[in-house]
Chains A and B, each alone.
Chain A
Amino acid sequence: MYIETRDLKKSYGEGGSFVQVLKGVSIKVDKGEMCVIQGTSGSGKSTLLNCIGGLDVIDSGNVSVAGTLVEGLKGEKLSDYRRANLGFIFQFYNLVPNLTVRENIQVCEYLTKEPLNMDELIEVLGLTEHQYKFPSQLSGGQQQRCAIARALVKNPKVLLCDEPTGALDSKTSRDILVLLEKINKQYGTTMLIVTHNNSIKNMVDHVIYLKDGEIYKDYMNENKIPASELEDL
């Protein structure tokens, strides 16, 4: 498996505030898959994503991404792991405010020796005319596209998306999802998408549903529909 977790457990707090967020989650995602992780608020979906991304430290279990065991990595090695394998897309974009679109993308271009073609990427993402604008001069969708470009430019093996459309309107959300679909096809990028949007599950290969920190459903979507045809976004 390209991404695999085994009996992954994660908790926060102690004493009265102790919360067991993940209660032994085991998932498997193949290379090139688009996988959606769904669940209600507090179900542990973002925590699972963070554990896979090496942003959070697990209590027990295993996380393996592209053959790398994540749970033992610390410091520079963890950075190297993320640098070599991952791209992140966040709900609130997190662009460097005083860098232009192009420069924001260049920040991550630096992180790899074999980046994607920047101009092509910008064009693919429809940012050509905005590439010299600052984030504050862009709409939410444009900012998110910029964030996606930033995440993709280093040609990551896995793209981790945490509520990528959470801050966007319906139309922009569709555009972003179409884009992700396109990237998946064009670059073969494995994607883990955390979302509470129920429609998105229809466009992906693999759906995992978390409930109270446990796998509630885990199935392959046999009836994928294109992102452009998604409804109720």
Chain B
Amino acid sequence: MGWILFKRALRDLKSGVARYIALSLLIIFSLFIVISLMASADTIIDSTVISDRELCCEDGEFSVFVPLRDEELAKITGRGVSIEKMFYVDYALNENQVLRAFKVRENINKISLIDGELPSADDEAVIERRYSEVNNVNVGDKLKIGEKEFTITGVGATPDYNTVIKKISDTVVDSRYFGLIFVTPKAYDELYDSGYSIASEEYYYAYLLNGVMTEDELKDILEDNKFDIEDIEDEYFKEYWKRMTERKDELLDGIDELKDGAEELADGADELRDGIEEFHDGMTELHDAVPDLTDGIEALDDGAAQLENGVNAYTYGVDRIESGASELSDGASSMADGTSKLNDGSGEFKNGVIGFAVTANTMAQSEDPYIAGIASGFVDPAFSLVSGYEQINSGIKEVNGGANSLSEGAYQLYDGIKSLNSNSAALRNGAAELHAGTSELLEGASEFTDGIDELYDGSKEIKDGSVDLAKGARELSDGVNELSDEANDLIDDVFDFDLSNLLVFINSKDNPRIDSAADDVQINYSASIIFGILLVVLFAYVISVFIVHTIDQESSVIGALYSMGLKRRTLTMSYVAVPVIVTFVSGVIGTLIAIFTPAGIPAQMQDSLSYFSMPKMDIIVKPFVLIYGLVIPPVTAFIVNVLVVRNRLIRTPLSLLHNEQKAVRGKEIKIKGLKFIPMFRIRQMLREIRAGLTVIFGLFMSLLVALLALNTSVYCSNVKDSYINLTNYEYMYNYKYPTEEVPEGGYEAVAESFKKEIYGYTFDITVLGITKDNPFFDTGDLPDNDSDVVLSSSVANKYNLSVGDIFTLSDDKGERLYAFRVARVFDYTATMFVFMDIDRCRDLFNEDDDYFNVVFSDHELDIDSGRLYSTVSKEEIARSSGIYVDMMGPMVTTMSVASAVIFLVVMYLMVKMMIDRSAFNISLVKVFGFRNREVRKMYLDGNFYIIVIGALISIPLCKLIMDYIYPRYLVCNVGVGVTAQYPPVLFALIFAVIIVLYLAINLVLSGRLRKINPAEILKNRE
């Protein structure tokens, strides 16, 4: 039975031959491309391994300032390491072309001849393959370098220049302008002596470790190699050397001064410590005395208080005394007045007494005895009285005199007391102020005490600090001594060239010139595997949709066969047979075409051969490729279709007999408020949801292919544009031996080359220190610190960096890491530059204040070529910028067309199948009287919305996927930081193309719709 059903499958295949041929052609084309890519990648990868082995490809290479001496070489080769000179000199053939001349290699990186033979005479040369092809220089041709003419005896390739780039940091090969030439040793020397070189000779050596030494060991040995300055004859180097050694001496002097300064600092710190200790002792005493001082001030305050009280009492007493004195004065005055009056009265009394005495006397002498008797009794007392009076009067006079004196004295006393009292207020105030002052003093003393405590503590800390300081200063001094030693070493390192001869050391894995074709195609290989499977899945799924359609059509037959006892597995296999056959046959054809026709593997290899310089290679088809081409398609088709068909055949025989349609959720949705045709259209879309999803899947896959092509196109175009539009300088001169003076009209810069890895590839990044007035890079203000940098957007894009990020760069030898912070991103994608202020850059890399090694200019400068590593002109950049566009153009076109074809075929087949499925219904509606235009609206136009929705989802989704994949897997080996960002109009264009393609298919299928004859269909149904 199996073969009978197989026959059925074959007839099914025959009946749908057109669609199966269409699908088969797509599969053949896809497999053809995929197998070609895979096998060509295998061929290139394996041939590279083989040729590397046969041609003794280097394990690595290094360059030196001066050629290694014999004993230095012997030190390395004596241990079994193979070394061969790869010295070269660049010569300008004409205005544009540069040829790099080598001696013919003997043991390492040997020349693989594609044509001809190695030079045997000194006027013969082998030309590098790509240069030969591009410039049509063939065996037998003459080629003149300077005055020396060479006959080309051979065309060849060497493994160390798989990618023929002038500098390791170059990203684009352009063999129109740069190539290699190999001549005899004698011819090489003669050529160099002729003086036509455009740069000084480069001393490169290639090595093979032969398993006897590690790379690090070799590097250590090379770094230990010194060279004798006297051996160097290059005048530019000598001049440079002189300047640099002077600079070194200056640095060394500076370090010595630093060392002395540190010593002095340590001594000073010791003295400071001693002084502080003394100060602290004094402080301690002061601190100890402060309590006594406080007590004294308290006593003083008490005394002042008492004094104030005393003064108050005193002034009060004085006041009282003044009052008393006043009264005394007044009393004395009164007394004086009284005594005066007394005196005066005593005068009158005297007169009276005298008068009385006289009278008495008179009377005593009176005749009247009586009177005389009486009077005589009075005469003596009277005279005694007078005499007494005299004494009294004298006494009164004395009293009066005394009273006057007393009065005067009392007055003087009063006056004096008054004067005294007049100072009492001041005295009192003074005493009060004194007391207040002592009180404040007391408070102050308290604060003083606190202050002294703090001061004491501070002093103690200062003392401790001073001890530490002294200790630290001593350590600093010791450290500076060590620093001095280290700095000396560092200076030795920095001025390594004066001691270590080694300039560049790079192993073959990190060398972008070596095995790069193999690296490049590895990406093709991986991408092919994935895309191949995805395409086969798509096509297998498309076929499965047809199979499902057939199953639906043959539902009752299947039910009948089930009824007879036929098993699902048997039927499943019979239905799966068609896709398996189609994919298998297509896979076989695609694989065979890829392997055995020039359009297959050789054509794919040509992409690499037209870019990389590779030896001859035989096509290698590995078993995996055969398995992929012959087994993967049918197996994928089998899996996809078994999954789909089994699900379809899982129904019961009765269900199949009745051709019951499985109710699918979503198809039962209620549609309200729409007119008939839109409603019908939605129903039709829901009914054909599987085909619709397949169309979207096809669209998605087509878009992936299309966007891969577009990304490539945009990327290459952006590379070209950025090179041309963003390169503002006309010339960039890279100095090997910088001068002191910047050439007039030039803008100096400091360029330091670093390495940074991403996605498994390491690229050169140049830290470029530029002056503020450099007109060629509009970076804005550059940060004024060493760690902040302005990033070119190429670096930002390549390494996914943005403002604020911190990133590290390692030096060429991988020994030092430098960390930078992104201060700003500058729109510059022509080169991977990291911008700094030139002075910061000089500081960072320990260069002189006037150091520079790059000069930019807007016109050609008169610089001796012997000083230069290289000169880059904008013209050269512009010339090579389009190489990617030229290279990738055919691929972009092929992929764009392929994607359109995939979309067209899938779309056509699916929509056609939708029409076939609905043929009976279409007949019916035609019978009902619907016009063709209405039928088209009902059955075809709904697909417009599927396409629109599919496109609106797929375009951004595919772009996101491609943007994720592209930098990580497809251009991860390209040292360019350009993005494949689309202008918005391109998205619109993609959408428009999809709609146009849809409309084209719609137009074709409208004709098919019109051709459906209702009578015939209905008759067949009957």
Contacts known (A109-B1, A110-B1, A110-B4); A92 close to B565, Cβ less than 8 A: no
A193 to B2, CA, bound (A): 30
Q: Which residue of A lies closest to B654 (CB)?
A: A55
The answer, yes or no, to whether B11 is at the interface (CB within 8 Å) is yes
Using a CB–CB distance below 8 Å, which chain B residues touch chain A? 1-2, 4-5, 7-8, 11-12, 15, 554, 556-557, 559-567, 652-654, 657
Q: Does A107 contact B (CB under 8 A)?
A: yes
Contacts of A99 in B (CB 8 A): 4, 7-8, 11
Contact (A107, B563) CB under 8 Å given A94-B556, A96-B8: no
**When A and B form their complex, which 5 residue pairs have the shortest distance between CB atoms, in order from nearest?**
A110-B1, A83-B565, A94-B560, A98-B11, A82-B565
Once the chains bind, are A83 and B564 in contact (CB under 8 Å)?
yes
30 interchain pairs, CB-CB under 8 A: A55-B653, A55-B654, A56-B654, A76-B567, A79-B562, A79-B566, A80-B565, A81-B565, A83-B565, A86-B565, A88-B560, A90-B556, A94-B561, A96-B8, A96-B561, A97-B554, A98-B8, A99-B8, A103-B4, A106-B4, A107-B566, A108-B561, A108-B564, A109-B1, A110-B1, A110-B2, A110-B4, A111-B565, A147-B560, A150-B564
- Among A82, A84, A95, A109, contact of B563 (Cβ-Cβ < 8 Å): A82
Expressed in whole angstroms, the Cα–Cα distance for A223 and B564 within the complex equals 33
The answer to whether A111 and B566 touch across the interface, beta carbons within 8 angstroms, is yes
Query: Known contacts being A82-B565, A111-B564, A151-B564, is A92 close to B556, with CB within 8 Å?
Result: yes
Q: How far is the CA of A86 from the CA of B563 in the complex (A)?
A: 8
- With a 10 A CB-CB cut-off, give which of A84, A86, A103, A151 has the most chain B CB atoms: A103
Tell me which of B15, B557, B654 contacts A94 (CB under 8 A): B557
Q: How far is the CA of A69 from the CA of B559 in the complex (A)?
A: 22
Residues of A within 8 Å of B7, CB to CB, are 99, 103
User: With an 8 A cutoff between CB atoms, is A145 at the interface?
Assistant: no
Minimal beta-carbon separation of A207 from chain B (angstroms): 24
Residue A87 lies at the interface, judged by CB distance under 8 Å to chain B: yes
**Which residues of chain A in 49-89 are interfacial with respect to chain B, using CB atoms and an 8 Å cutoff?**
50, 53, 55-56, 76, 79-84, 86-88
Is B657 a contact of A90 with CB atoms below 8 Å? yes
Within the complex, the shortest CB–CB distance from B1021 to chain A, in Å, comes to 11
B652 and A107 contact, CB distance less than 8 A: no
A215 CB to nearest B CB, Å: 22
- Does residue A174 face the partner (Cβ distance < 8 Å to B)? no
Inter-chain CA distance A84–B563, complex, in Å, is: 11
User: A154 on the interface (CB 8 Å rule)?
Assistant: yes
Q: Which of A50, A83, A98 contacts B15 (CB 8 A)?
A: A98
Given contacts A55-B653, A94-B657, A110-B1, contact A79 B15 (CB under 8 A): no
The interface residues of chain B lying within 8 Å CB-to-CB of A111 are 1, 564-566
Interface residues of A in 160-218 (CB under 8 A from B): none
Known: A92-B556, A95-B557, A110-B1. A103 touches B564 (CB 8 A): no
Q: For B2, what are the chain A residues with a Cβ–Cβ distance below 8 Å?
A: 110
Q: Provide the bound-state CA to CA distance between A32 and B403, in Å.
A: 191
How big is chain A's contact interface, by range? 20 to 34
Q: State A94–B566 Cα separation when bound (angstroms).
A: 14
Say whether, besides A55-B563, A55-B652, A55-B657, A96 and B554 are in contact (CB < 8 Å).
yes
List, in ascending order, chain A residues with CB within 8 A of B657's CB: 55, 90, 94
- Distance of B842 from chain A, by nearest CB (Å): 85
CA of A191 to CA of B318, assembled, Å: 163
How distant is the Cα of A96 from the Cα of B654 in the complex, in angstroms? 17
Distance from B803 Cβ to chain A, minimum over Cβ atoms (Å): 66
A107 x B561 contact (CB < 8 A): yes
CB distance from B228 to the nearest CB of A (A): 92
Closest to A110 in B: B1
B contact residues around A82 at 8 Å (CB) = 562-565
Distance in angstroms between the alpha carbons of A183 and B72 in the assembled complex: 106
Residues of A within 8 A of B653 (CB): 55
Chain B residues within an 8 Å CB radius of A86: 563-565
* Interchain nearest-CB distance for A50 vs B (Å): 6
Known pairs A53-B563, A55-B652, A107-B566. 19 more at Cβ < 8 A? Answer: A55-B653, A55-B654, A56-B654, A82-B563, A83-B565, A83-B566, A90-B657, A95-B557, A96-B554, A96-B561, A98-B15, A99-B8, A106-B4, A107-B4, A107-B561, A108-B561, A110-B2, A111-B564, A147-B560
Nearest-CB distance from A66 to chain B (Å)? Answer: 14
Contacts of B654 in A (CB 8 A): 50, 55-56
Residue of A nearest to B2 (CB): A110
Residues of A within 8 A of B560 (CB): 88, 90, 94, 147
CA distance A82 to B561 in the complex (A): 10
Taking a contact as CB atoms under 8 Å apart, the answer to whether B559 and A94 are in contact is yes
Instruction: Report A-chain residues with C-beta under 8 Å of the C-beta of B12.
Output: 98
Contacts of B563 in A (CB 8 A): 53, 55, 82, 86, 88
**B287 → chain A, closest Cβ, in Å?**
104
Considering the complex, give the chain B residue whose CB is closest to the CB of A94: B560
| Chain B CB within 10 A, most for which of A50, A84, A87, A94 | A94
Q: How far is the CB of A68 from chain B (nearest CB, A)?
A: 13
Partner of A154, one of B5, B554, B559, B564: B564
Nearest CB in chain A to that of B1022: its residue? A167
Residues of A contacting B15 in the complex (Cβ-Cβ under 8 angstroms): 98
Would B557 and A96 count as touching, CB distance under 8 A?
Answer: yes
Docked CA distance A150–B554 (Å): 17
**Bound complex: CA of A98 vs CA of B11, how far in Å?**
6
Contacts of B5 in A (CB 8 A): 107
What distance in Å separates the Cβ of B739 from its nearest Cβ neighbour in chain A?
Answer: 88
B565 contacts which chain A residues (CB < 8 A)?
Answer: 79-84, 86, 111, 154
| Minimum CB distance partner of A156 in chain B | B564
Q: Are A103 and B556 touching (Cβ within 8 A)?
A: no
Taking CB atoms, residues of chain A closer than 8 Å to B11 are: 98-99
Chain B residues within 8 Å of A147, by CB: 560
Give the CA-CA distance A96 to B550 in the complex, in Å.
11
| A206 to B652 alpha-carbon distance, docked (Å) | 30
CB-CB nearest in chain B for A89: B560
Q: Complex: how many Å from CA A86 to CA B11?
A: 28
Closest B-chain residue to A102, C-beta based?
B4
Chain B residues with Cβ below 8 Å from A50 are 654
Report which residue of B556, B565, B566 has the largest number of chain A beta carbons within 10 angstroms of its beta carbon.
B565
Contacts of B8 in A (CB 8 A): 96, 98-99, 103
Closest chain-A Cβ to B1020's Cβ sits at a distance in Å of 9
Residues on B with C-beta less than 8 A from A84 are 565
Q: How far is the CB of A150 from chain B (nearest CB, A)?
A: 7
Measured CB to CB, the nearest residue on chain A to B9 is A98
Q: In the complex, which residue of chain B has the Cβ closest to the Cβ of A150?
A: B564
Contact A106–B564 (Cβ < 8 Å): no
> Using Cβ atoms and an 8 Å threshold, which residues of chain B touch A83?
564-566
Q: Which residues of B contact A80 (CB under 8 A)?
A: 565
Q: Which residues of B contact A150 (CB under 8 A)?
A: 564
CA distance A86 to B561 in the complex (A): 11
What residues of chain A lie closer than 8 Å to B554, measured between beta carbons?
Answer: 96-97
Complex contacts, A106 vs chain B, CB 8 Å:
1, 4
Report the bound CA distance from A109 to B3 in whole Å.
12
- Chain B residues lying within 8 Å of A107, measured Cβ to Cβ, are 1, 4-5, 561, 564, 566
A11 to chain B, nearest CB (A): 15
- The docked-state distance in angstroms from the alpha carbon of A111 to that of B565 is 7
Question: Separation in Å of the A36 CB from the closest CB of chain B?
Answer: 20
The residue in chain B whose Cβ has the minimal distance to the Cβ of A84 is: B565
Nearest-neighbor residue (CB-CB) of A135 within chain B? B557
Min C-beta distance of B652 to chain A, whole Å: 7
Report chain A residues within 8 Å CB of B556.
90, 92, 94
Which A residues lie within 8 Å of B4 (CB)? 99, 103, 106-107, 110
In chain B, what residue has the closest Cβ to A162?
A: B657
Residue of B nearest to A50 (CB): B654
Complex alpha-carbon distance, A92 and B567, angstroms = 21
Kindly list chain A residues whose C-beta atoms are within 8 Å of the C-beta of B557.
Answer: 94-97
- Bound together, the chains give a CA A86 to CA B2 distance in angstroms of 20
User: Whole-angstrom distance from the CB of B1019 to the nearest CB of chain A?
Assistant: 12
Docked CA distance A93–B565 (Å): 16
Q: Which residues of chain B have C-beta atoms less than 8 A from A79's C-beta?
A: 562, 565-567
Least CB distance from B382 to A in Å reads 179
